[in-house]
Amino acid sequence: MSGVEDKTEGTMDKAKGKVKETVGDMTDNERLEREGKRDQAEGAAEKAKGHVKDAADDVRDGVDDLRK
């Protein structure tokens, strides 16, 4: 998966998690609220992974340019 795909998936997971957390809070459903918080944390990690992949690609491109 590319960095862009990871960041997109992370954004989607964070949004899904926020909805779950909000619905869980509004309905006093602690399980759903916890799931939402977990989804948001996983989404943040996925986005971070995407940023790292993009940075690694930039470094690789820079090294390739130096070799030319």
Q: How confident is the model at residue 58 (pLDDT cuts 50, 70, 90)?
A: confident
Q: What is the pLDDT of residues 26-56, one digit of tens each?
A: 999 999 999 999 999 999 999 999 999 999 9
Per-residue pLDDT, averaged over 7-15, amounts to 96
pTM exceeds 0.85 for this model: no
DSSP H helices, 1-68, are 3-26, 30-67
- Say how many C-beta atoms besides its own lie within 10 A of residue 64's C-beta: 9
